[in-house]
Amino acid sequence: MNDLIDTRSAARRFWLLGAVLAGLAVAAGAFGAHALRDLVPPARLATFETGVRYQMYHSLALLFVARALTDHPSAALRWAGRLFVTGIVVFSGSLYLLVLTGLSWLGAVTPLGGVAFLAGWGLLARAALHRDRPPAA
């Protein structure tokens, strides 16, 4: 029973985070297109847009994880969701801060978010591969 409650709670959290982070990606995209366009060089604007794009992709992935958890609860899915959130914060967040502050050392942090994204996708694939297998005895 506790596993069912934990799964529902995780699904609800990922659904909420996916929706909120997708909305924030839209807002960040509008900010970049309208406010930043005249303030930063085109290369930095392109960097900002990369952050927005990856935030949106992985926000949608969170919504998928939330839905998948309701039908196929698994630790791999829960970890995939956690890693997608981590990736958004680290990858997209570091790109936003890099563009807004000019702190070039943030570029060294960005790949850590990319690794979180890749690990999340790997766990999503693992969950799909093990979905219909009976539990080990």
Number of Cβ atoms within 10 Å of the Cβ of 12 = 13
Give the pLDDT confidence score for residue 6 in this predicted structure.
Answer: 83
Give the pLDDT confidence score for residue 4 in this predicted structure.
Answer: 61
Q: How many domains does the chain have?
A: 1
Give the pLDDT confidence score for residue 135 in this predicted structure.
Answer: 53
Residue 134 lies in a domain: no
Residue 89 lies in a domain: yes
- Yes or no: say if 32 and 95 are a contact pair by the CB < 8 Å rule: no
What span, in angstroms and rounded, lies between the C-alpha atoms of 68 and 91?
24
Residue 49 lies in a domain: yes
Owning domain of residue 24: 2-129
The pTM is what?
0.91
Residue with more model confidence, 108 or 6: 108
- pLDDT, tens digit (0-9, with 9 covering 90-100), for 29-73: 999 999 999 999 999 999 999 999 999 999 999 999 999 999 999
Residue 136 lies in a domain: no
Strands (E), the chain: none
Residue 137 lies in a domain: no
- pLDDT, tens digit (0-9, with 9 covering 90-100), for 127-136: 999 875 555 5
